[in-house]
Chains A and B, each alone.
Chain A
C-alpha cells in the first residue's frame, strides 16, 4: 500500500501559454483551468489518509458537452484524466496521477427533472447527494443511499464507487437506484445507457458496468435515479450488550423474525469508550457493543416492529434498551453512532478507515479478530459499522509520520484482509479499491476474474487514459 506522500514534480506543470493549456482553456473557459501550485496542491488528495499527488492542471467544465470535448482532446494528446467530484473518497480513487489532469465535475450540479409519474430523477453528476434527496422530498419521494459524506459527496462519485450507507440492509446501495447513465467514453464519444423502464433487457446491462468502475472506464456526466415513496414513520431504538456475541445473536434473531430494519448499526467496546469520553451520551460503562436500530414504513407496522426488536434485545441479555419517544429523542440516541467517527478521529493525528465486509453471520468473528490483531501489534483499532450488511469499519488510530508504527499498521491491515477473505468476505464493502486496496485485490479474486477486469479495461480504454493505476495496474 502506498502510504508515503509523493513529492510533487513542479517541472511537470504547464507553463503559461503552453499549447495544451490554451486548448483546454478554449474548451472550458480561461477561469476554469487551474495551474498554479496553490490551486493544485488542494486537489492532490481525497478523503484517504496519506495519499497525495499533484496534477498538471485541474479542469472545471460547466457542461457535459465540455467534458466530452476535454476527453476528445485528452484522447488525441494521450493525457491521463482523473475524474473527481467533491474528493471525499476513502480509497484514493480520485487522487491525481503523474502527468495527468484532474477533471472536476462539481459545476455539473443541476437537477434536470423529477418525474413523479415514473418515480425517477435525472440530474447531472456533480449534484450533491443530499440535494438529490432534498429535491425528492417535496414529491413525497425518497432517495435512500446515505453515505457518510452525503452532505458534500456528489452523486457521480457515489455511482462511480457504488457507495453504500447506513440503509444498505433494507434499501440496498447506489447501484440499486441507477436506472440510466450518460457516460463520456475514453474516446470522447457520449453514450446513453439504460432507460426509465423498470424492465429493460435490451443488450448487455452496460450501465451496471460503469457503476462502481471508479472512473476507470468512462466519465459519468448524467444520472437517472430511481426514487421510492418516502416512509411515513420511523422508530429508533438503542441497545447495549456486554458481549459482541449477544449483540450479534440479537441481530440474527431480528432478521429471522423477518423484520428488516432500515438501520442496524453497531459500535464495539473501544468505540463505545471513545464516544462516551467525547460526547457523553450516557452509554453504559462496560458496554462491549452498542446497536442502533431503526425501522421505517407504515406507522402501525413500525410500532409493532420496534416493540419486537426491543423484546429480542432484552431476551438476549441487553444491559440497556432505550426506545425513542419522539424525534428529538431519536436524534439523541443516534448521536452515539453519529459521533463514532468524530470521537475516534480526535485521538491520534492519522485515522485510517477500513472497510472490510463479511457475510452478516460472521460479523462477530471479524470484530474479535480485529481486537486480537490490535493487541498483537500494539495498535489502537476501534471498529464500528453496519451490522445488517456485515460491512465493518476497523478504524486504525495512528500517526503517519511514525514509520515504525506504520509498518505495524501495514501488517495489521494485511491480517485483517486475510481473515476477511477466509470468512468469505470482501476487502471493500462501500469505499472502493482505488489505490488503498489495490494490493489486496489479487488475494480476493481468482486469476480468471482478475484478468477479466483488465480485459474489460483494455477493451474500453486501450490507451489507459482514464484513472490509470487505480483498482489494478495494467501490465501490458
Chain B
C-alpha cells in the first residue's frame, strides 16, 4: 500500500515511529504552563481555550475518514478532542490507547473545514502527538530506533538525505533492486515493509539544485521570490521543482533557490517531534534573506500548511520570533502566488484532454486553497476540468500514514481511485508529493498524475514551440 515515496528507512521508521528520538527530557519545562496538568509538557503548553473551543456539536463527524470507517466516537475529531480535554483536566492520563488513537488520526484536517467553531485542530494534533512522544507511551526499541534514524538523522541533515537519495537511486537504476526482489532477500523484512517495497517511489537522477541555479532571472523582473525545494519533492519530483521555477520565470519572478535546504520540519511536527521541528524551522529561515524577497514559494501542500505556522512554532524563541512572523507572511503555495500576481495564460492549441483535480488535504483543509489550482488548470489550452466526486477526501497518503496504517490507507486509496475512474479523465492533477505517489500507485497505468504547475509549464513550453515552429 505504501505509495509514499521516502526511503526504505523512512518507512520503517514510521512503522515504528517511537519516542527514542525524543529522550525524556530531564530538565523541567522552561516556560510557564498556563493551565492543565503539570506533568504535561506539550499539551500543557497549549492554551486551554483551544481545547475548550470545541463545542462537540458533531459537525466534524461526517468529514472524518476514520469515524466514517468505524462509527465510533473516539475515532472522531470531537472524540479525540474530548480525550485531550480529559487529559488537560487530569481525568485521564496520556495512555497507550490515547497514543494509538492519535496515530490512527490521519491529520487530514477535513474536520477543520467542517468545524463551525474554528477549532485549531492542527495545533491540538501536533501537541498531542508531541506529548505522546514525550511521555513515551508508544515506546518500543524498534520504533525508537527508526524514529531516531529518520527524524533525527536522515530528515534532519540535508547531506544525509541526499546520500540516502543517491543510494536509493543507485539501488533502483543499477538493477540491484530487481536482483534483490528476485533473490527473496526481501523476506527478511517485516511483512508490512515487504509489502511496501514494490511501491518505493523512483528517485530522480538529479536533485533540484542540479536542475535549478541559485539565482535565475526572467527577462523583466516584477517580483523576487525564494524557492523551497522540499525533501521528498527534491528526491522524487525534482522535475516539479524545475517546472515551478520555469513558471515563476515566465511570470516575471526572479527566483532565489538556496542550496542545502533540507526538510522544513513538517514531517517532524506532524510526528510528535516539535523540538526538531523548531531546529529545522530555524535552519530554513536562515537560508533566506527575508527582507529582499516578496514571497517564499512552496509547491508541496504538506510543507506549505506547516511552513505558514512558524509564528506559533517559534513563539518562545526571542531570536526568531519576529523572523517567523515575517516568514509566515511571505510563504505562498505556488497556485496561490500565481493567482495573486495574475499569471499569464498560455496561448496556442492543444489536443483536448480531460483532467480532474484531487485536492491535497493540506492544501484545501490546511491552507484553504481550492479555487487557485483550478484557475491554473482552467487557463491551460485544451484541458477540460472535470470535477472529482469527494475531491477533498483524503487519499490515504497523509504523510507516512500509508506506512503506519496500511489498511485504512488502502481503503481510502481505493475510494479515491474509484471516484477518479468515474470522471473518465486520464489525467489527474494534484499538488502534493505524498498524494501524487499514493494516487499514482492506486491508478497504475490507467491515468497519469501531474502537479498543476507541471501542466502549466508544459503549456508554456508548447506555446514556445508553436511560436518557434510558426516563425
Q: Which residues of A contact B (CB under 8 A)?
A: 5, 7-8, 34, 36-39, 41-47, 49, 60, 86-88, 106-107, 128, 149, 151-153, 341-342, 345-346, 349-351, 399-401
Contacts and interface: CB of A to CB of B under 8 A. Distances in A.
A63 to B, nearest CB: 15
B366 to A, nearest CB: 19
Contacts of B59: 88, 149, 151-152
Nearest to B93: A37
Contacts of B48: 401
A106 B70 CA distance: 10
A179 B78 CA distance: 34
B58 A351 contact: no
Given A88-B58, A341-B116, A350 B72 contact: no
A346 B118 contact: yes
Given A36-B97, A38-B101, A106-B71, A342 B82 contact: no
Contacts of B92: 37-38, 41
A45 B56 contact: yes
Contact of A351 (B49, B83, B95, B117): B117
30 contacts: A34-B72, A38-B97, A39-B72, A41-B74, A41-B82, A41-B92, A42-B73, A42-B74, A42-B83, A43-B73, A45-B82, A46-B56, A46-B58, A47-B56, A47-B57, A86-B58, A87-B56, A88-B58, A149-B57, A152-B58, A152-B59, A153-B58, A342-B118, A345-B118, A346-B53, A346-B118, A349-B49, A349-B53, A350-B52, A399-B52
A41 B56 contact: no
Contacts of A88: 57-59
Given A42-B79, A43-B73, A45-B82, A8 B98 contact: no
Nearest to A85: B58
Nearest to B47: A349
Contacts, number: 88
A18 B82 CA distance: 27
Interface string B351-362: 000000000000
A198 to B, nearest CB: 33
Classify chain B's interface size: 20 to 34
A41 B55 contact: no
Nearest to B89: A5
Interface of B: 48-49, 52-53, 55-59, 61-62, 71-74, 76, 78-80, 82-83, 86, 89, 91-92, 95, 97-98, 101, 116-118
5 cross-chain pairs, A with B, having the tightest CB-CB distances, nearest first: A42-B79, A42-B73, A342-B116, A345-B117, A88-B58
Contacts of A107: 71
Contacts of A86: 58, 61
B55 A350 contact: yes
A99 B214 CA distance: 68
Contacts of A399: 49, 52
A149 B56 CA distance: 12
B169 to A, nearest CB: 44
Contact of A345 (B71, B74, B116): B116
A152 B74 contact: no
A106 B76 CA distance: 14
A45 B82 CA distance: 9
A399 B73 CA distance: 25
Nearest to B57: A47
A167 B63 CA distance: 25
B55 A345 contact: yes
A42 B98 CA distance: 12
A345 B52 CA distance: 11
Given A36-B97, A151-B62, A87 B116 contact: no
Nearest to A8: B91
Given A151-B59, A345-B118, A38 B83 contact: yes
Contacts of B62: 128, 151-152
B71 A7 contact: no
B108 to A, nearest CB: 17
B116 A42 contact: no
Given A38-B97, A41-B82, A342 B117 contact: yes
Nearest to B98: A38
A34 B79 CA distance: 14
Interface centre among B56, B73, B83, B92 (most CB of A within 10 A): B73
Nearest to B55: A351
